[in-house]
Amino acid sequence: MFYDIEGTVLSGHGIRTTLGNTLRSLAYAYYYIQYPYTDKYGKLTQLTKKPWDDDRFFVMASGDDLVIVGDQDILSQIRLNALKLTARDKS
């Protein structure tokens, strides 16, 4: 997949945020959702293989702003996955 995107938009503009930022934000969210984890029984599992088709949660993005709405248990696991996959400091 290849997109040629030209131009810039001031940060925070609600309508004109770049497509690239939005796609990147959605890709990160979907990666966190699909990332395999060990459940309480020690079995390797994942929340879903197709997060864009799962009706247990809803992902919305505009530029680098992202919201995931869903059940508390699922959101908790997504948060744990994101924390596992990202750095906590800048060193």
Domain ranges of the chain: 25-56+69-83
pTM: 0.73
pLDDT in tens, 48-89: 988 888 999 999 998 888 999 999 999 999 999 999 999 888
**How many residues belong to the chain?**
91
pLDDT in tens, 29-59: 999 999 999 988 999 999 998 888 899 999 9
